[in-house]
Amino acid sequence: MADNNLNIRGSMVALITPMFPDGAIDWLTFRELINWHIEEGTDALVITGSTGETPTIALEDHIELIRVAVDIATDRIPIIGGTGANSTSEAIELTHAARDAGVDACLSVVPYYNRPTQMGIYEHFRAVAECCELPMIVYDVPSRTNARMSVDTIVSLAQLDNVIGLKDATGDIARVNELLHKVPPSFSLYSGDDATAAAFILMGGHGNISVTANILPRLMHELCALALRGEVALVQLLSQRLASLNQALFIESNPIPIKWAMVRMGIIHEGLRLPLTQLSPEYVKVVESAMIEAGIPLSNNSAGVKSGFRPYGV
């Protein structure tokens, strides 16, 4: 049974991987973003998740992104390395590499494309969990994997020694109560859906692995902290401020909108890797208006070219 000594709570940023227009990784900006999130109060960083475009990143760069994040963080913030794959052997290899890099935990997604049975999902995660002593958060995101974990599967996984939590990106906050009654007290439940994250935490969840926090780290930290304290009125107020933005950032496949927003703020270059493409023109005003409504300062650089990292407070 997992003993969650990490006790990670609050806002965890699913960090983008900054790139140049040709798709090369912008390592300098990657380092700047990590320092910025630490300064803004982010509670943990998730590196090389789906928001980080890992399906298009070579294995050696995947591992290097994790290693650099650990090195820059210097124990100032927990680093969670995304080590999921639809091949169990590859997931094990990545998890070993993340452990060797010094991460605090790993995030492992339900195998995608294969469409495994519930037994297959359980055996996949069991094999990864048993490969090395590294705390593991399992990740349920059926919109991407086309395979949803059942409550029974989650409960079974929660009995494994180093499976310490669940990232739930289903948007189904109703199952929080059911899970809380069935999993060990040390097992953590994290939302993976910004639009319902505050309600998820108010229902008893422990935090949010957030896309929106890429551009509003301090505000997302405050929202999660308020929800953990049960301050409903203030949670409602901040949630209303973020409602349009949380919707707009998923108007096309993640991380297309969030990267466009960060370019619009002037903090990253305009870089994505195919098959992802830039935000469709018909959605530009939608995302921009949602950013303005949330109080995000926009760059005057209409060309969208990074001219220097400019962290800000909101």
Residues with catalytic roles: 139, 167
How far does CA 61 lie from the centroid of its chain? 18
Residue type, 192: G
Total Cβ atoms within 10 A of residue 283: 15
State the CB neighbour count (10 A cutoff) for residue 11: 29
Dmax (CA) of the chain: 53
